Chains A and B, each alone.
Chain A
Amino acid sequence: MLGKPENKMIIVALAGAPNTGKSTVFNLLTGLSQHVGNWPGKTIEQKTGSVHRGNLTMNIVDLPGTYSLTANSAEEQIARDYLVKENPDLVVAVLNAASLERNLYLVAELIELSPRLVIALNMMDVAQQQGMKIDAKALGQELNIPVIPIVASKNQGLDELLTAIEQEYHQPLGSRQLKHIEYGSEIQKVIDHVAQLLDDAMTAPYPKHWTAMKLLEGDAQINKMIMGRAAGEQLSSLEAYLREHESAAVTIATLRYAWVEKMMAATQEKPPMGRVSLTERIDRVATHPVSGLFILLLVLCLIFGLVYSIGIPLQKLLELHLIEAGHNFVNAHLSAPAWVKGLLANGIISGVGTVLTFIPILMLFFAAWAFMEDVGYTARAAFVTDKFMHSLGLHGKSVLPLVLGFGCNVPAILGTRIIDSPRSRLLTILVAPLVPCTARMAVITLIAAAFFGSTAIFVAIGIVIFSLIMMIITGLILNRFVVGGEDSALLMELPLYHLPNPKIIGLVTWQNTVAFIKRAGTIILAVSVVIWILSYLPHGEINTSFLADIGKFLTPVGKLMGLNWQMMVALLSSFIAKENTLATLGTLTGGQGAALTAQLKVLLTPAAALAFLVVQVLFIPCVATVAAIHHETKSWRWPLFTVAYQLLLSFAMAIIVFQIARVL
């Protein structure tokens, strides 16, 4: 070992409030070395990655963005549990220099846990634009913590940050006299009293004194834990004392802010009074109930314009060159038994193709999404739509995931992660499958065109609106009767607008796309193969296959909607992916393109066609969507609910439509 530097591994936790550029710092430090997973038992993303520096390997853990360490949300609970239980070697607090006051509050809480702490003072450039002068050095002296000014969006100061981490790590723990908050004798007595009522075994793994403070702050999780462990007289005296000192929460927070103000006085020169920033100026228009909605519509039009002008043509191109070329290759050049060819062409290549051809559209949506997040627009979109969304029990932040749903329902469901209220998030997940995605639109367009000639466009638009009305009604019903819990009020920060960072947008788009392929891709492929097998066995011919049997079994229901067994099979196959409806109809009727249109006219009356449009737009979400619902709700209850509900809804509506249309 002599002379050979020992390679050391340390764990560095990245803490910070939302909108501090913490993810940017994390992404820049770890690059593509990062691993994205979930926090144990949570649907909140856990990102880890590593940086090597000399003989030091820093494993960086990106904690969820939190304003405080009181468990007001799952994010906050994760962050502080990680700090207490995992005890990282060092904590880097990423602060937004442009709203230092707000951000120092978290530092006030971090100091109470006395870790090795380094502060990365991010967005120094933005603060400057805001007319603030911040003295990072003075802040460091005041706090007695290394403070490194950085501009992560321009990749400035990260090297200095790493050096500071390295240096700080080599300082013995506790060598720094951290400036704890002086809580004042009165409140200190109250905290001490609560601490006396507790014992170390009861509060483990949390420090006793800290636990006492969190109890006074009304921390739900700590409260539940302690009340579960305490018993008898201890419990009743604790409960009584806490109830008596309910206002302590406010006092503690106020004192923390007073501490923050004291720290600020030495470090920041404020801009002149009453200055109106550019962000506020833009917000006058962007959050206005009329012009704000107008801007939102404009943004959405732009996104869909992009999808239809670039995404869809690309998808068509891929279909032509991947799927059809694949089919042709298998059929023409492969000498193998028919069933192998069938499995390869119709099972595997079609399955993989469905996933691959979808990627251009998804990437466009992901990029647009990342762009809006990065620029700071998402919060504004949430602001202008909150009132309407709220009436459905949803959240302003629900609007963008739902819009994403027009592209594909899977990213819509993954996108609900931005909604911080668990209840609104669940509701959004449950109504999202009723947003007609591009795949369903393709089916609607073709069938409407086949049956309704010049009025096809109106029929198609009508079906989309119908589906959205169903979504709203579903939202109202679920909100009233199905999903329990408190209605959560809107409370969110509107970050300052800033220029987009292409690197970050690229990285986020990439990560989301990879996640989609991993999560949805494999499932689509598997189900595609299973459905193919069902369509092949037992006689190697679809018209007599198990799939046809299922379709025929459903004929009584189909009849009520004017649909024969072929149409029912086509509907069932949309479970793999919605655009499969057309491919299956093609196989069943032996026609493609114009031939398919002609065949359809034989199979369906116009009334039945309308019913088919209705049932297909409302039918069970595709398997990838169901899987996403399972993944995001961590239960089978909600995906099964969705399947059952939409099955009933689609059949009921189609039957009503057919019975009415037939008479007219």
Chain B
Amino acid sequence: MDSERTEEYLEAIYKEQSKGESASTSFLARDLGVSQPAVTDMLKNLESKGLIVYKSSQGATLTDIGVERALGVIRQHRLWERFLTDILGMSWDKVHDVACKLEHLDVPEVEERLAVLLGDTDTCPHGHAIPDKNGNIKRDKTIPLTKFQPLQRVNIVAIDEGDSGLLREIEKKGLKPQVIVTIKKKNEDGSMEIEAGNKKISLKPQLAAILLAEPVAANKLIAAKTETTLSKLDAGNTAILKEYTGERNLLGRCLSLGFTPGSVIKMLENYNSGPVLVKVHDTAVALGRDLADHITVTRTENAC
């Protein structure tokens, strides 16, 4: 169980470090629910193993070996979360705690098979990037929603999953990763008014604080470059329908099946010849390739 403790520390330090801060003893004590002296003991122990650099004035930062270990644990944690939601069908507010236990299993074969089973997922259910098996992780460029200003359009990328009650509230409001929202108002107390689609949503301070987002402007730039036809979208990717350019007599059928501008389309299967299979408005629809050639879309995934 010693290694389990170690891993939890490394994970906590990593998360703090990825925000650009070093982990103070008081932060770790709060985060891990232990006393400060215990934290100090453990940090010294970790330093002696060469996993961290610890200065009592500044807190702890990970060494290269430490980062590698931490990412390994995080990878397992997020893979397990995916497994719990996608395969076992658990709701996203419950999986964090269970994954905290499973992440220490550390059997390479299990991890490998898990990754194969889950296919091409690269984020956890809460939107955080999963490090690849070589320990590379997409750089996190998100900032909390509270840092944005009114009238800015932002894309919600991830949600801090610490509090399951808050997650449930977020879900109820229809917010999830890859939803684009506009900031309407920021209040003194940290609560916010935002708009998603045409729906107004008010967020209490705790909710606004756990939403991590990135500005859409940058996204739009990429989007302009990634306008393509539906037939060229790879399986697993999502896009937003721009327009239908095919024959008028098929327009009605396309519209009634939900291919309206602005609809989110997820490509399920595309074998580069023959029909494609997409998900639109909650339903799987097969489209002939000719038809898919005549639907223009903009990709929504982040290109970095």
Contacts and interface: CB of A to CB of B under 8 A. Distances in A.
Interface of A: 67-68, 70, 72-73, 98-102, 105, 129, 131, 217-220, 246, 249-250, 253-254, 257-258, 261-262, 265, 269-276, 279-280, 283-284, 287-289, 379, 382-384, 386-387, 390, 396, 486, 489-496
A102 B257 contact: yes
B271 A101 contact: no
B285 A491 contact: yes
A474 B290 CA distance: 24
B257 A218 contact: no
B281 A257 contact: yes
Nearest to A486: B249
B281 A102 contact: yes
Interface string B163-189: 000000001101011100000000000
A287 B283 contact: no
Given A68-B252, A272-B176, A283-B277, A99 B283 contact: yes
Nearest to B87: A276
Given A217-B252, A283-B269, A489 B263 contact: no
Best-buried of B171, B246, B277, B282 by chain A (most CB within 10 Å): B282
Best-buried of A257, A288, A490 by chain B (most CB within 10 Å): A490
Best-buried of B246, B248, B288 by chain A (most CB within 10 Å): B288
B274 A289 contact: yes
A284 B260 CA distance: 26
Given A257-B260, A493-B257, A493-B284, 9 more contacts: A100-B282, A105-B258, A129-B89, A218-B248, A273-B125, A279-B284, A379-B286, A383-B277, A490-B275
B261 A70 contact: no
A113 B304 CA distance: 49
Nearest to B285: A493
Best-buried of B174, B252, B256, B282 by chain A (most CB within 10 Å): B256
Best-buried of A68, A275, A283, A387 by chain B (most CB within 10 Å): A275
Contacts of B172: 269
A231 B152 CA distance: 53
B268 interface: yes
B255 interface: yes
A492 B285 contact: yes
B108 interface: no
A493 B288 CA distance: 12
Contact of B197 (A67, A261, A271, A272): A261
A276 B252 contact: no
Contact of B281 (A99, A284, A288, A489): A99
B251 interface: yes
Nearest to B82: A274
Given A100-B282, A272-B171, A67 B257 contact: yes
Contacts of A271: 85, 91
B288 A490 contact: yes
Contacts of B89: 129, 131, 275
A254 B260 CA distance: 6
B284 A70 contact: no
Given A102-B257, A269-B172, A275-B85, A287 B269 contact: yes
Contacts of A387: 273-275, 289
A275 B92 CA distance: 10
B121 interface: yes
A485 to B, nearest CB: 11
Q: 6 smallest A-B Cβ distances: which pairs?
A: A68-B256, A272-B92, A490-B288, A387-B274, A253-B255, A489-B288
B269 A70 contact: no
Contacts of B261: 250, 254
18 contacts: A67-B257, A72-B256, A99-B281, A102-B257, A218-B248, A220-B249, A249-B255, A254-B261, A265-B199, A274-B177, A283-B269, A486-B247, A489-B287, A491-B257, A491-B285, A491-B287, A491-B288, A494-B277
A275 B249 CA distance: 35
A429 B262 CA distance: 39
Contacts of B256: 67-68, 70, 72, 105, 253
Nearest to B247: A486
Contacts of B254: 491
Contact of A101 (B281, B287, B291): B281
B86 interface: yes
B282 A386 contact: no
B260 A270 contact: no
A484 to B, nearest CB: 15
B250 interface: yes
Contacts of B246: 489
B198 interface: yes
A280 B271 CA distance: 15
Best-buried of B248, B251, B275 by chain A (most CB within 10 Å): B275
Contact of B177 (A67, A105, A273): A273
A489 B290 contact: yes
A72 B252 CA distance: 6
A253 B176 CA distance: 25
B288 A98 contact: no
A494 B121 CA distance: 23
B252 A490 contact: no
A494 B285 contact: yes
A218 B288 contact: no
B127 interface: yes
A490 B261 CA distance: 20
A53 to B, nearest CB: 33
B199 A102 contact: no
A390 B260 CA distance: 26
A284 B258 contact: no
A418 to B, nearest CB: 14
A493 B125 CA distance: 27
Given A67-B256, A105-B256, A386 B277 contact: no
B229 interface: no
Interface in B67-103: 85-86, 89, 91-92
Nearest to A71: B252
A273 B268 contact: no
A265 B174 CA distance: 7
A379 B287 CA distance: 12
B123 interface: yes
A276 B268 CA distance: 10
A491 B252 contact: no
Given A257-B281, A261-B197, A269-B172, A490 B92 contact: no
A218 B252 contact: yes
A101 B177 CA distance: 20
B269 A275 contact: no
Contacts of B127: 273
A461 to B, nearest CB: 28
A276 B86 contact: yes
Best-buried of A217, A271, A379 by chain B (most CB within 10 Å): A271
Contacts of B85: 271-272, 275
Best-buried of B127, B176, B243 by chain A (most CB within 10 Å): B176
A273 B286 contact: no
B253 interface: yes
Given A102-B257, A254-B261, A396 B86 contact: no
A608 to B, nearest CB: 44
B121 A274 contact: yes
A131 B243 CA distance: 31
A263 B92 CA distance: 23
A505 B121 CA distance: 38
Contact of B263 (A73, A257, A280, A396): A257
Given A72-B252, A257-B260, A493 B283 contact: yes
B181 to A, nearest CB: 14
Contacts of B244: 250
Best-buried of A73, A220, A276 by chain B (most CB within 10 Å): A276
B199 A272 contact: no
A217 B260 CA distance: 13
Contact of B251 (A218, A270, A272, A396): A218
Nearest to B260: A254
Nearest to B290: A489
B271 A288 contact: yes
